A = this chain, B = another copy of it.
Amino acid sequence: MAAKAVVLLSGGIDSSTTLAIAKNQGFETNAISFYYGQRHQIELNAAKKIAKQLQVERHLIVHVDLGAIGGSSLTADIAVPKNRNLEKTTDEIPITYVPGRNIVFLSLALSWAEVLGATDIFIGANAIDFSGYPDCRPEFIAAFEQMANLGTKTGVEGTKIKIHTPLIQLTKAQIIRKAIKLGVDCSSTVSCYDPSTDGKACGQCDSCLLRKKGFHEAGILDPTIYQT
């Protein structure tokens, strides 16, 4: 019987590729997504599509009201920045950073892993493109893993919990090449922080700019329909 893994799935390219990697490594994949008060449900619909295409064992959507906590342009009423020069912004923490988001999401994934009897958790965290997000760095992931092993029944009973971050040192172009190789349907994924109501990507937020640049550098046609 395949070992069970819990995979955080947002519906973007990174998490979809991470799911495909977990599957390719032989895990029984259990995808977890979050409705956390983000501005749009389009990414959750993408997550559902990808979960189905990659034939996960289970797909759980958990409601967690990060919007009540606030503090980010992704959950609060603050404008998403557009057309920033990404080369010049790598050291600052952007306004799209949701405080502690990966910590909360990993905690909920850990909780579900305990219930399922899974000891492997996959997250598409990336330290290259999101160098401004403290909760995407390898030293944070290592500390979370340590905490998980001390604070859960599984960890205490001696089965080691492992947080897998297969994309952590890859560029967007490398991630896109891996996605294509593993059969991820990139046209089903959504990266945009601020899509139109009919699902078109804005083409101007940090996430759209990174995606465009990644496809360009990978030499692969970007299937995304942009507004601009």
Residues of B within 8 A of A70 (CB): 115
Which segment of A145-153, A172-180, A190-198, A219-227 sits at the interface? A145-153
Cβ of A65 under 8 Å from chain B: yes
Which segment of A11-19, A38-46, A93-101, A206-214 sits at the interface? A93-101
List the 7 closest A-B pairs by CB distance, nearest first.
A100-B111, A99-B114, A71-B115, A143-B147, A140-B151, A135-B151, A134-B156
The smallest C-beta distance from A109 to any residue of chain B, in angstroms, reads 9
Scoring A residues 58 to 101 as 1 if CB is less than 8 Å from chain B, else 0, what string do you get?
00111111101111000000000000000000000100011111
| Interface residue total, chain A, C-beta cutoff 8 A | 44
Cβ of A110 under 8 Å from chain B: yes
The smallest C-beta distance from A130 to any residue of chain B, in angstroms, reads 13
Cβ of A3 under 8 Å from chain B: no
Copies of the protein in its oligomer? 2
Cβ of A107 under 8 Å from chain B: yes
Cβ of A103 under 8 Å from chain B: yes
Cβ of A108 under 8 Å from chain B: yes
5 new A-B contacts at CB < 8 Å, known A71-B111, A100-B107, A101-B111: A69-B112, A100-B114, A103-B107, A134-B151, A137-B151
